[in-house]
Amino acid sequence: MMVNCPDCKKALIEFDLGSGNYHCSNPSCNFQYLELMTGKQHRKNVKTEEMESAPLSNSLDKKPKRILVGLAIESTLLNMGHSIFDKVTTKLKEDYNANVFDCLENPQYLKKILERNFDKNVHEVVAKSIKTVLGEFAYYSSIREFLDELNSKK
């Protein structure tokens, strides 16, 4: 018999014939298996903390991207010198009660701090360098938007 996945609509497969457990073969699908006898549906664990706030597809990958962007900022600033790193991280804390990991959602924090506290060259080098580090991840729209905002002239 044919049973389709309730989530992704692909055909479910009975791995152990006769078990009555039908698995979804789609690796990106959250549905695990269906017990045909009882109708019980099993899904992969999803962190409830992340389910509450935003739509699933969006929230699941937000955290690693925040870390990615934060680390890119950190390494760029450290490369430019400890005094620059210290000043930016201190200002993030003082002015916005934030850290580098909040910059994905708030690129203007970093931008404003660079504008206010450093000359134009430093600002440009930082923005460019972060863009280089994150360039290969720019196919993620959230990272692309962050880079666009950081590099925008307005």
* Contact set with Zn ion (CB under 5 A): 5, 7-8, 24, 26, 29, 31
User: Measured from the CB of residue 59, what is the shortest distance to Zn ion in angstroms?
Assistant: 19
Q: How far is the CB of 32 from Zn ion (least distance, A)?
A: 9
User: What are the phi and psi torsion angles at 129 (to 5°)?
Assistant: -65, -40
Name the minimum Å distance from CB 38 to Zn ion: 19
Query: Least distance in Å: CB of 33 to Zn ion?
Result: 10
Contact 117, 87 (CB under 8 A): yes
| Rounded Cα gap, residues 10 and 3, in angstroms | 8
In the complex with Zn ion, the residue whose CB is nearer, 10 or 144, is: 10
Q: Which residue, 6, 28, 24, 27, is CA-closest to 14?
A: 24
- Residue with Cβ nearer Zn ion (41 or 75): 41
How many CB atoms within 10 Å of residue 80? 16
Closer CB to Zn ion, 27 or 97, in the complex: 27
